């Protein structure tokens, strides 16, 4: 069976333009995922719901990513990859427009879930397309370039989107995100190369995902990223309550974290290209060290800022290696589904990490225990990465 790279029927004018187009879409998707966190009180007040109820807009989106992405990937498996990407950006743009104009909470929640469907499949399909348009030795770096849009959304888009919503109302932010979606729609249609129609996934291909190797790859992603969000969910009280950072300066520390994730994302891509085998164990061990380093850094105020920068770098250095690892374990002809499943695993890890962090705090162990306990999760993923691979042929 031919791979996607064999189905490219009209190559792009350059290899950079389609990757940038995909990065624009990733920027918009990352922005719509995270910006709601900064606008939640406004949204709750405007829609007449409590803050915990408004929090369902975050949960609903994550569930849309986790479960909707694979379903949509299977449903769209017979379509050309570029067509899928264009349709996903249309869904994304429509979902954000619906958020901007919906008068009630129920419609906004439905729009958020729908937009989450587009998230998982976009990154899954985009990762496959990105790998297909670059030389073999640049595949992981191509994935990292697409994910740069997501990292920039955290660094630049999140504070800007929050500021825009605070000044002009939260709906203005969703209008702006919809505009980014429309721009990505046009860019993908113009610059991503034509691909032949795909083949519908067969039951035997789906059954291959329950083999030990793909399941282990998905578990590594979920465990690794659970450690990140076990801490990041509570990063503001950690900075103010443990490191003694004034509340007005928290944004500066988050900016440092964001700068770290941009560099770490690109570094992880290069690492996976150069040393594809050891890359995953290296980044997982580094992430565990970074979480332990954060605990030490928060105890010494002068070290808090560099600890945040380092953690951001080590956290997002895992993205490309883990994505490439999963795609390497994916059955031929089901690359998009495998890639999308790994995006779902990232988001499942986010939810697990936030939940575990809440359990730790509810048990009275305190904020200082979060980072050391979170480090156990990437260490568990590291153990899976080093586990002997004994599979039936």
CATH number for position 87: 1.20.1250.20
Looking at per-residue confidence, does 189 or 232 come out higher?
189
Q: Which of 163, 196, 229 is the last residue of a domain?
A: 196
Q: How far apart are CA 101 and CA 103, in angstroms?
A: 6
The answer to whether residues 179 and 216 belong to one domain is: no
Q: Are 193 and 6 in contact (CB under 8 A)?
A: no
Query: By mean pLDDT, which of 26-30, 85-89, 184-188 is the weakest?
Result: 26-30
Backbone CA torsion sign across 154, 157, 160, 166: negative
Q: Cα–Cα–Cα angle for 220, 221, 223, nearest 5°? A: 65
The answer to whether residues 87 and 229 belong to one domain is: no
The answer to whether residues 171 and 261 belong to one domain is: no
How many domains does the chain contain in total? 2
At residue 307, the pLDDT reads 93
Would the pTM of this model clear 0.75, i.e. be above it? no
Select from 209, 219, 207 the least CA-distant residue to 345: 219
Q: Are 142 and 131 in contact (CB under 8 A)?
A: yes
| Domain assignment of residue 80, yes or no | yes
pLDDT digits (tens, 9 = 90+) for 96-130: 999 999 889 999 999 998 888 888 788 878 877 88
Q: How far apart are CA 132 and CA 260, in angstroms?
A: 28
Q: Are 349 and 356 in contact (CB under 8 A)?
A: no
Give the pLDDT mean for 12-26. 76
The answer to whether residues 375 and 312 belong to one domain is: yes
Show the tokens assigned to 187: 């860019």
At residue 207, the pLDDT reads 60
Q: Which of 174, 196, 218 is the last residue of a domain?
A: 196
Q: Which of 147, 170, 196 is the last residue of a domain?
A: 196
Show the tokens assigned to 230: 């076990």
Average model confidence (pLDDT) across the chain: 81
Domain that holds residue 380: 205-388
The answer to whether residues 148 and 230 belong to one domain is: no
Show the tokens assigned to 200: 């519908």
The answer to whether residues 190 and 220 belong to one domain is: no
At residue 233, the pLDDT reads 72
Q: How far apart are CA 221 and CA 316, in angstroms?
A: 12
Show the tokens assigned to 41: 């009180």
DSSP H helices, 133-249, are 139-152, 158-168, 170-191, 203-207, 212-232, 235-237
The answer to whether residues 170 and 75 belong to one domain is: yes
């Amino acid at each position: 069976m031919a791979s996607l790279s064999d189905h490219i029927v009209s190559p792009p004018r350059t290899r950079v333009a389609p990757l940038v187009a995909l990065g624009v879409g990733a920027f918009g998707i990352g922005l719509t995922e995270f910006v709601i966190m900064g606008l939640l009180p406004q949204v709750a007040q405007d829609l007449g719901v409590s803050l915990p109820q408004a929090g369902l807009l975050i949960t609903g989106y994550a569930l849309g990513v986790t479960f909707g992405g694979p379903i949509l990937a299977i449903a769209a498996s017979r379509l050309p990859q570029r067509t899928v990407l264009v349709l996903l950006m249309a869904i994304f743009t429509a979902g954000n427009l619906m958020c901007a104009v919906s008068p009630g909470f129920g419609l906004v929640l439905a729009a958020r879930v729908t937009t989450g469907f587009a998230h998982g499949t976009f990154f899954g399909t985009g990762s496959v397309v990105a790998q297909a348009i670059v030389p073999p030795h640049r595949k992981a770096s191509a994935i990292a370039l697409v994910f740069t849009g997501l990292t920039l959304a955290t660094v630049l888009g999140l504070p800007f989107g929050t500021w825009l919503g605070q000044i002009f109302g939260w709906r203005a932010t969703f209008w702006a995100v919809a505009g980014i979606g429309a721009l990505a729609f046009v860019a993908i249609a113009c610059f991503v190369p034509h691909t032949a129609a795909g083949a519908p996934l067969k039951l035997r291909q789906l059954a291959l995902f329950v083999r030990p190797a793909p399941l282990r790859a998905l578990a590594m992603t979920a465990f690794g990223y659970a450690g990140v969000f076990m801490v990041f969910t509570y990063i503001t009280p950690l900075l103010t309550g443990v490191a003694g950072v004034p509340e007005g300066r928290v944004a500066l520390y988050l900016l440092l974290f964001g700068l770290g994730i941009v560099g770490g994302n690109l570094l992880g891509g290069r690492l996976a290209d150069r040393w594809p085998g050891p890359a995953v164990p290296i980044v997982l061990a580094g992430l565990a060290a970074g979480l332990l380093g954060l605990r030490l850094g928060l105890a010494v105020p002068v070290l808090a800022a560099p600890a945040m920068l380092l953690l951001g770098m080590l956290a997002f250095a895992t993205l490309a290696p883990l994505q490439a690892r999963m795609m390497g374990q994916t059955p031929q002809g089901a690359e998009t589904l495998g890639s999308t499943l790994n995006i779902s695993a990232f988001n499942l890890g986010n939810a697990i990490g936030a939940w575990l962090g809440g359990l730790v705090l509810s048990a009275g162990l305190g904020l200082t225990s979060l980072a050391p306990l979170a480090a156990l999760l990437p260490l568990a993923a590291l153990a899976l990465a080093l586990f002997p691979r004994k599979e039936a042929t």
